[in-house]
């Protein structure tokens, strides 16, 4: 079988539509992951041992079980409890929830890296707890972890094809459906691969540049 | 719930397939990681470039896309893979790329004096790697490798999408047969969790052994 450039040109617009869904799902999921991760980290620092241990085991559980199964859970189990999510919504929530357990670790590392003196200074200045966190600790911690968080954005992008398991019309799913219509899988799936490598390589170059810049300002 | 428990032979068979995939995939990934990771530390710029290209390409590729490519696209140009081979190849190639970065980083983190000492003692390059550099690098590699193996195990759930009867695939079957959606997924999530915890304890055991071998923290354990 020969590579058919004409066919390639025909399917490209459809694939780009799929890519748009992939990117949307990734970005929305990323927003959830970044915010929820911070929530997990802060909850783990509360004095209550019950909250602390619960959060610890919940995040450990989510982190060490497959994203695909979690997506199935959101998509198939929640409706039996009366919560019906559309495929894309379930996908975004699943991606976000799964990766929030990773970003939580990143934040934790970032907060641990803030020098002790900063805490002591906040105490010495008698800053209220909320100001200590919002104006002293978090700005420094988050600046340190931006490149690492960027890497997780790329990781999420690469995990987004899993959404086809719950019928989201993302990039790979579009390619596969196109293929079943024409029985030619070579061009669409190869194109998807090329698009993935392109987006990932370009974004990892950007993240590396970000990394270098944040080292330079340290 | 009892319907799901009654289906335990199916769950066990699925779990066994998942474990097999994890083992085969990890072995392939380890070999690729060592080959391309060491290539990344080579003196020749060409060899280093080969390592870089492998790492960038397969780190940038989504495992599932790769798997679909092996399974649906390549047979059309004459390369046929069994589902199992396609799955192990794509999991191994993907995790191997991450592993290669780990190997490269670990080898470069071995103090330079160690390297100079082997030159002074007139070791051959093979002796240098085997006797001096690698044993020290392995201690640094183990914790990230442990994480990668768990990532691979989790990643193996996608093979259910190319009809391999792993744990996730069995879950779908049981769900269809019994209509017990909740308990089916709770059961397999728990099984995955147990497998992950078991892998983690294995890695910790290995870490302790390597530390003892190198005489580090010998008394602390």
Residues of chain A with pLDDT under 70: 1, 215-218
Count of A–B CB contacts within 8 Å? 115
**Chain B residues with beta carbon closer than 8 angstroms to that of A172:** 62, 64-65, 68
User: Which domains occur in chain A, in start order?
Assistant: 5-217 (1.10.3720.10)
pLDDT of B221 = 42
SS (H, E, C) chain B: CHHHHHCHHHHHHHHHHHHHHHHHHHHHHHHHHHHHHHHCCCCCHHHHHHHHHHHHHHHHCCHHHHHHHHHHHHHHHCCCCCHHHHHHHHHHHHHHHHHHHHHHHHHHHCCHHHHHHHHHCCCCHHHHHHHHHHHHHHHHHHHHHHHHHHHHHHHHHHHHHHCCCCHHHHHHHHHHHHCCHHHHHHHHHHHHHHHHHHHHHHHHHHHHHHHHHCCCCCCCC
Q: What is the mean pLDDT of chain B?
A: 88
Q: For every one of its 221 residues, what pLDDT tens digit does chain B have, with 9 covering 90 and above?
A: 677 777 788 888 889 999 999 999 999 999 999 999 999 888 888 999 999 999 988 988 888 988 888 888 888 777 888 888 899 999 999 999 999 999 999 998 899 899 899 999 999 888 888 888 888 898 889 889 999 999 999 999 999 988 888 888 888 888 888 888 888 899 899 999 999 999 999 998 988 888 888 776 544 44
Q: Which residue has the tokens 């959404």?
A: A163
d(CA B170, CA B155): 16
pLDDT tens-digit profile of B133-166? 888 898 889 889 999 999 999 999 999 988 888 8
Q: Kindly list the structural domains of chain B, giving each domain's residue range(s) and its CATH number in brackets, ordered by start.
A: 2-213 (1.10.3720.10)
A149: enclosing H helix or E strand: helix A138-159
Q: Do residues B174 and B180 make contact, with C-beta atoms less than 8 angstroms apart? A: yes
Helix residue spans in A45-115 (DSSP H): 49-63, 67-72, 87-113
What is the pLDDT at residue A215? 67
Distance between CA A213 and CA B69 in Å, rounded? 37
**CB-facing half-sphere around the CA of A120: CA atoms within 13 A:** 3
Question: CB distance from A84 to chain B under 8 Å?
Answer: no
CB within 8 Å: A201 and B60:
yes
Q: Per the structure block, which two tokens stand in for B130?
A: 């085997």
**Which residue in B has a C-alpha nearest to residue A187's C-alpha?**
B73
Judged by DSSP in three states, A162 sits in: helix
CA distance B74 to chain A (A): 7
| Yes or no, beta carbons of B189 and A64 under 8 Å apart | no
Q: Do A64 and B158 touch (CB under 8 A)?
A: no
Cβ-Cβ contacts under 8 Å, A59 against chain B: none
Question: Half-sphere exposure of residue B112, counting CA atoms within 13 Å on the CB side?
Answer: 0
- Predicted confidence at residue A218, as pLDDT, reads 55
Q: How many CA atoms lie within 13 A of B26 on its CB side?
A: 18
Question: What is the pLDDT at residue A207?
Answer: 83
What does the pLDDT look like over B68-77, one tens digit per residue? Answer: 888 888 887 7
Chain B residues whose beta carbon lies within 8 Å of the beta carbon of residue A73: 185, 189
B72 and A80: CB-CB below 8 Å? no
Residue A93: its pLDDT value, please? 94
| Residue A123 to chain B, least CA–CA distance (Å) | 36
* CA A91 to chain CA mean position, Å: 11
What residues contact residue A20 under an 8 Å CB cut-off, 6+ apart?
A: none
């Amino acid at each position: 079988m020969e590579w058919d450039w004409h066919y390639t040109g025909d399917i490209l617009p459809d694939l780009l539509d799929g890519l748009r869904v992939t990117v949307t799902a990734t970005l929305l999921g990323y927003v959830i992951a970044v915010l929820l991760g911070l929530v997990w980290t802060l909850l783990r620092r509360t004095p209550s041992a019950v909250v602390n241990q619960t959060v610890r085991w919940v995040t450990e559980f989510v982190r060490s079980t497959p994203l695909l199964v979690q997506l199935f859970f959101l998509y198939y189990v929640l409706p039996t409890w009366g919560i019906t999510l559309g495929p894309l919504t379930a996908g975004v929530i699943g991606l976000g929830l799964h990766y929030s357990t990773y970003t939580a670790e990143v934040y934790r590392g970032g907060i641990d890296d803030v020098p002790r003196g900063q805490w002591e200074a906040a105490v010495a200045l008698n800053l209220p707890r909320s100001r200590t966190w919002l104006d002293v600790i978090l700005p420094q911690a988050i600046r340190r972890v931006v490149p690492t968080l960027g890497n997780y954005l790329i990781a999420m992008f690469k995990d987004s094809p899993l959404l086809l398991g719950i019928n989201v019309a993302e990039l790979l799913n579009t390619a596969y459906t196109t293929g079943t219509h024409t029985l030619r899988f070579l061009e669409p799936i190869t194109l998807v691969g090329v698009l993935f490598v392109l987006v990932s390589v370009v974004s990892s170059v950007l993240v590396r540049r970000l990394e270098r810049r944040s080292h330079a300002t340290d | 719930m009892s319907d799901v428990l009654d289906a335990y032979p199916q769950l066990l068979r699925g779990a066994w397939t998942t474990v097999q995939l994890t083992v085969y995939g990890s072995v392939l990934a380890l070999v690729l990681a060592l080959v391309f990771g060491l290539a990344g530390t080579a003196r020749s710029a060409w060899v280093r470039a080969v390592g870089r290209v492998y790492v960038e390409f397969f780190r940038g590729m989504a495992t599932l896309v790769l798997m679909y490519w092996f399974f649906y696209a390549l047979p059309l140009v004459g390369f046929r893979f069994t589902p199992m081979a396609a799955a192990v190849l794509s999991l191994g190639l993907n995790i191997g790329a991450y592993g290669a970065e780990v190997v490269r980083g670990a080898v470069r983190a071995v103090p330079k004096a160690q390297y100079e000492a082997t030159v002074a003692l007139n070791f051959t390059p093979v002796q240098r790697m085997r006797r001096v550099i690698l044993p020290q690098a392995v201690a640094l590699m183990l914790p990230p490798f442990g994480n990668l193996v768990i990532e691979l195990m989790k990643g193996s759930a996608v093979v259910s999408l190319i009809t391999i009867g792993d744990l996730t695939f069995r879950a779908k079957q049981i769900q269809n047969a019994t209509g017990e959606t909740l308990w089916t997924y709770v059961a397999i999530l728990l099984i995955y969790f147990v497998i992950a915890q078991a892998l983690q304890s294995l890695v910790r055991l290995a870490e302790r052994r390597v530390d003892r071998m190198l005489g580090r923290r010998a008394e602390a354990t």
